[in-house]
Amino acid sequence: ISLSAARNSITVTYIYIHIPLKMSGQITSNDRTRTYWTPTMERFFIDLMLEHLHRGYRTGHTFNKRAWNEMLTVFNSKFGSQYDKDVLKSRYTNLWKQYNDVKSLLDHGGFSWDQTHQMVVGDDNLWSSYLKAHPEARVYKTKPVMNFNDLCLIYGYTVADGRYSRSSHDLDFEDEINGVNIGESSSG
């Protein structure tokens, strides 16, 4: 509901947003559509992800359950909040998109990373051409990406857990056990 009031010829608009609360006062992720992330909150979350990355709590492109639980507990304690894992996972996904957007720009050719200003740079013709094909990237022409180097560590670095790895020795041994000989017919 929006109310307007004129005072000294200035129009003031009040916006009331109803957010349902649980009995405990906790806002659930289904009831809340948006979490406002301050730069301090984002930096702290990135540091938590880096810590858990270095502790080996991530395989592939996601953190394990233990990491999410630990990060949530520490994050809520630090900021006095009662967020659930979905809030952190949503921010993780948004940061991953930001990383991929910037990486796509840098991989395109002609663009480069300005470490001093923490921005993607390129000449005006290059930007114009790129933005015609990718208008959603316009924000990166003028907006710094303050934590991009750390996002490269988080999203550009994956840890193999060996789950799907096999060596040629494993294949030969398993084939002998199963009575299969590669390259030979089943009758021979």
Cβ neighbours around 85 below 10 Å, total? 14
Under DSSP, is residue 111 helix (H, G, I), strand (E, B) or coil?
Answer: coil
Tokens encoding 35: 């979490």
Q: pLDDT of 55-93, one tens digit each? A: 999 888 899 999 999 999 999 999 999 999 999 999 999
Name the DSSP class of 89. Answer: H
Using only C-alpha atoms, the chain has a radius of gyration, in whole angstroms, of 25
Question: Helix or strand or coil: residue 136?
Answer: helix
pLDDT confidence of residue 32: 52
- pLDDT given at position 181: 42
Q: What is the pLDDT of residue 60?
A: 83
Helix (H) or strand (E) holding 54: helix 39-54
* More confident: 16 or 96: 96
Please name the residues in contact with 77: beta carbons below 8 A apart, sequence gap of 6 or more: none
User: CB count, 10 Å around CB of 135?
Assistant: 8
| pLDDT at residue 157 in the model | 53
Number of residues that make up the chain: 188
Q: Note the pLDDT of residue 61.
A: 84
pTM for this predicted structure: 0.66
The model's pLDDT over 2-48, given as tens digits with 9 standing for 90+, comes to 344 443 333 333 343 334 444 334 455 455 558 899 999 999 999 99
**Tell me: the pLDDT tens digits for 152-186?**
999 985 544 444 334 444 444 444 444 444 444 44
pLDDT of 133 above 60? yes
The pLDDT score that the predictor gives to residue 59 is 82
**Of 93, 52, 99, which Cα lies nearest the Cα of 72?**
52
Q: How many beta carbons lie within 10 A of that of residue 71, not counting itself?
A: 23
Strands of 98-188, DSSP E: 112-114, 119-121
Q: What mean pLDDT comes out for the span 122-136?
A: 96
